[in-house]
Amino acid sequence: MRWKFLLGSAVAVTMMGMSGAAHASSADALLKRLHDKGILTDEEYSELMHQEAAEQAKAAPAPAPAMQQAQVALDPSHVVQMTDSGIGFKVGPATIKFSGSVNGFYVHDSGEKASANTAVAGGIASVGSNTSAVRNGLLPGFLKVDATTTQGGWDVGAHFGMYPGINSAAWGTLGANNGGQPTALATSGIDFRETYLTFGKAGFGEVKIGRAIGLYGSDAILNDMTLLSSGPTGGNAAPGNTTLGRIGSGYIYTDFQPQMTYTTPSFNGLQASVGVFQPLASLTAGAQANSSPQFQAKVTYDGKFDAVALHLWVSGLTQTHDFVAGGSYTGQGVDAGAKATVGPVTVVGTYYTAKGLGTTVLNLMDTDSSGHARNSSGYYLQAMVTQGKWSLGGSYGASYLDYTDGADAVLNPTLVRQNSSAVGQVRYGLNSWITLIGEYVHSRAEAHNGNVATSDALALGGILFF
């Protein structure tokens, strides 16, 4: 027993300061050597080896929590997963996705000096001294959040879109679009354009309820190359949330409006939408209390014929306007267009005709002072060529507004007859997120009495999408 005690102590001293695999290997080797030399009997060797194994089992670290969790089946409803595409995640029954854009441009605008011969009511050309601005283009920035799921066999979605500008806003009748306030301590404008829900399923189509982009004229602006840049400035001395782009010199702005809209499934590329919209009051006619909603509809077709990819659309709008003082008029319009892509070349052509819709934006200068609806029309033509990271484009468009009668001509001699603009643009795709853009714009406004104003603008900047 004395040998056993002494030998056991010697083994313990030898193993002090060692740990893990080195500890076990050294102890085993020492015991085996003592056994081989006859110092330890078979019985003593066996007993000490058992003691050593027991001590090492006590000293072994506990399994890591992650390893313990890996041995338990996870509940899928408690797992957060990355979406297959875009930026977002899946959690529980819902998929949350984020998308957005940021842009900024240096814009120098050179307009004619103000005079009796350059006065055009409703003209888009700048009049006055040269101006410089660092501002948004036709798009403000935006951040969109979409939460989608499938419930009871229906695909359901909640959609939110915030559109903040980089310039300081002067709040007024038009909210964030009222114009700018280029002074210290001012704040930028946030235009919360989108708040809507959707539900649909295969074979049924989709229903949209809330505030979203309109149907009438929407394809005209979404296919306009100035959507990513500036176009005519719409006022550069005190820039607001956006420039004009080709709004007012090719189409009437569709706007984001409260609506209840149904869209059919696609039938071999053919798809239709129809909606009931919040009725809009005129921006320039007398006070209105409209008893009927506004109605909009759109039909699109997408197809490919050999090397030609084709997108066609036609849309319409109608609304009855009731004056508080009595009487009414109907605003209505039709917009149509086509986009064709052949290899690196894309061309777009659009046309609209309307009565009682006015010009530039819905219901601006839509009637004369007697409440009679004015006729309007417009078009634009556009082409863009892309080679590698470079794109070169050009477009021309015009919008027209007519008198109602001789009395309108007498009372409004400087009313705009035609707004037009010519745009040249070059783009460089820096990477998949950022596009750098340079643009030259010549704008012209002509009044019914012959007054003319012109301006020239240069825009340099970039836009990011994610």
* Better pLDDT: 307 or 37: 307
Which residue is listed with tokens 């507004």? 401
Q: What does the DSSP assignment read for 326-363? A: S-EEEEEEEEEEEEEEETTEEEEEEEEEEESSBSSBTT
Which residues, in sequence order, are CB contacts of 194 under 8 Å at separation 6+?
144, 159, 160, 161, 210, 211, 212, 213, 256
Which residue is listed with tokens 């595409």? 85
pLDDT of amino acid 35: 67
Kindly tell me if the per-residue pLDDT of 161 is higher than 60: yes
pLDDT of amino acid 170: 83
pLDDT, tens digit (0-9, with 9 covering 90-100), for 97-123: 999 999 999 999 999 999 999 999 999
User: Which residues lie across from 156 on neighbouring strands?
Assistant: 149, 199
Max Cα distance, the chain (Å):
131
pLDDT of amino acid 58: 66
Kindly tell me if the per-residue pLDDT of 59 is higher than 80: no
Residue 365: left if φ>0, alpha if ψ -120 to 50, beta else—which one? left
Question: How many CA within 13 A on the CB side of residue 285?
Answer: 32
CB atoms within 10 A of CB 38: 7
pLDDT, tens digit (0-9, with 9 covering 90-100), for 389-419: 999 999 999 999 999 999 999 999 999 999 9
CA 286/CA 371 separation, integer angstroms: 8
Spell out the domain ranges in the chain: 2-63, 94-465
pLDDT of amino acid 169: 81
316 closest CA partner among 215, 213, 427: 215
Kindly tell me if the per-residue pLDDT of 30 is higher than 70: no
The token pair that represents 131 in the structure block: 């101006």
With cut-offs at 50, 70 and 90, classify the pLDDT of residue 74. Answer: low
pLDDT of amino acid 51: 73
With cut-offs at 50, 70 and 90, classify the pLDDT of residue 62. Answer: low
SS (HEC) of 77-126: HHCEEECCCCEEEEECCEEEEEEEEEEEEEEEEEEECCCCCCCCECCCCC
Average pLDDT of the residues in 269-276 = 98
Pick the CATH number of 94-465 from 2.40.110.10, 3.40.1190.20, 1.20.1250.20, 2.40.160.10: 2.40.160.10
Q: What is the DSSP letter of 138?
A: S
Kindly tell me if the per-residue pLDDT of 22 is higher than 60: no
Contact criterion met (CB below 8 Å) for 351 and 337 = yes
With cut-offs at 50, 70 and 90, classify the pLDDT of residue 437. Answer: very high
CA 34/CA 36 separation, integer angstroms: 5
Contact criterion met (CB below 8 Å) for 209 and 197 = yes
CA 80/CA 71 separation, integer angstroms: 19
Question: For residue 313, what is the enclosing H or E element?
Answer: strand 308-322
pLDDT, tens digit (0-9, with 9 covering 90-100), for 162-215: 999 999 888 777 777 777 888 887 878 789 999 999 999 999 999 999 999 999
pLDDT of amino acid 218: 98
Q: How many helices (H) and strands (E) does the chain have?
A: 6, 19
Which stretch, 81-85, 89-93, 215-219, has highest mean pLDDT? 215-219
The token pair that represents 40 in the structure block: 């330890």
Average pLDDT over the chain reads: 89
Per mean pLDDT, which range of 47-56, 189-198, 222-231, 331-340 is the poorest? 47-56
Question: For residue 379, what is the enclosing H or E element?
Answer: strand 375-387
